[in-house]
Amino acid sequence: MFTTIIVRPIFNLLVLIYGILPGHNFGLALIIFTIVIRLLMWPLVKKQLKQAKAMRELQPEIKRIKKASKGNRQQESKLLMELYKEREVSPFGSIGTLIIQLIILIGLYSGLRKIVYDPKEIVGFSYTFVQHLSWIKHLAVNIGNFHSTLFGFVNLNRSALSKGGIYWPAMVIVVASAATQYFQSKQLMPSSKESRKLRDILKEAGSGKQTDQSEVNAAVGRSTRYFLPVIIFMVTVNYPSALSLYWFMGGLVAFVQQWYVLREDESSLEKVAVGVPSKDVSSIVEAEIVDVPEKTKQQKSPKRKNVKKQKRKK
């Protein structure tokens, strides 16, 4: 069922792009495929980023709730749920997008395995309308014309690390994919001078001091900024470089998408993260001050003098 619903449609989309692309370069087809997938996921990605922004904006109120609850977990959970409901925010709103990305990655890996171990699957595993493309018909006659390279420089069938040693063109892509993941994660985490390392927080907790769970979560989030790139490097270094190319391009497009959504609110979100009001209070105060014009004062003063004169006459 997974093959029918997930793997085969993903595989055929890639082969379709490869078949209609001028020059029929498999690496370029994979790049275009990645961009198409990220664009199709844009509504979900945008929603995920909006949820992340909303959660960051709520951090000052969440801290106040934790302080007011004084360790009462039941009351704290109730107040947090009311806050999320009021602001229409779901703390787990990004899980769905992550699951979809993971499913696509598994489906793509399964499809690439078919091409790597048996290039004839390009024809045999394709839908009928894809098989009728002129280039796919050409490959059906002579599969030797299929070259899984990126512009002829990188063999996408080879892994960066194998028994034969290091394949440096693939290693460059693997390192680039890990670096892209690092900057993508860093982009979603506003820097704060008051941020503490997870090691220091746990050290205080070990001495008996009560810790703020939100501070722990933030520290863990900052740690994943380094953890995920290492995991990606360790996983992709042993797989065909086609998978690393997909991860690199996906991370690059995701970085641009995040920049597009976050660029207008970046400064205000960082202020919220460190507990500084995003609005300029002084400007609001000045706006409320009503300055009485000099002409108005001069008009009022003669009337007061006339009143005094009338009283003296009486």
pLDDT of residue 68: 81
| Residue at 169 is within a domain | yes
Q: Which residues pair with 149 in a beta bridge?
A: 155
**Of the candidates 42, 46, 37, which has an alpha carbon nearest to the alpha carbon of residue 13?**
37
137 with 131: CB under 8 angstroms?
yes
Highest mean pLDDT among 40-44, 221-225, 236-240: 236-240
Tell me which H or E stretch contains 178.
Answer: helix 168-187
SS3 164: coil
pLDDT at 248 over 90: yes
pTM, rounded to two decimals: 0.70
pLDDT at position 150 is 92
| Cβ–Cβ under 8 Å, residues 47 and 97 | yes
CB 45 within 8 A of CB 97: yes
The Cα 173–Cα 27 span in angstroms is 12
- Report yes or no on 290 lying in a domain: no
- Calpha distance 273→38 (Å, rounded): 29
Q: Phi, psi at residue 70, to the nearest 5°?
A: 55, 45
pLDDT at 168: 94
In terms of C-beta density within 10 A (0-12 exposed, 13-18 middle, 19 or more buried), how is residue 245 classed? buried
Is 309 inside any structural domain?
no
**25/298: higher pLDDT:** 25
In a domain, 298, yes or no: no
Mean pLDDT value across residues 18-25: 94
Which of 38-52, 84-98, 236-250 has the weakest average pLDDT? 84-98
The number of folded domains in the chain is 1
CA distances to 2, 58, 168, 270, 272 from 191, rounded to whole Å, are 41, 16, 34, 7, 11
CA distances to 8, 58, 273 from 13, in Å: 9, 40, 42
pLDDT at residue 199 in the model: 57
Residue 310 lies in a domain: no
299 found inside a domain: no
List Cβ neighbours of 69 (8 Å cut-off, separation of 6 or more).
75, 76, 79
Res 222 pLDDT > 50: yes
Residue 308 within a domain: no
Q: DSSP 3-state assignment of 162?
A: strand
| DSSP 8-state assignment for residue 142 | -
- The token pair at 166 is 């290091």
Which one-letter amino acid corresponds to residue 265? D
Q: What percent of the chain has pLDDT over 70?
A: 71
138 pLDDT band, cuts 50/70/90, is: very high
Residue 105: give the domain boundaries: 2-274
- What is the residue whose two structure tokens read 């749920």? 81
Residue 220 lies in a domain: yes
Binned at pLDDT 50, 70 and 90, residue 284 comes out as: very low
Q: Can you tell me the distance from the alpha carbon of 34 to that of 29, in angstroms, rounded to the nearest whole number?
A: 9
The fraction of the chain above a pLDDT of 90, given in percent, is 28
CA distance 159 to 166: 8
Average pLDDT for the chain = 76
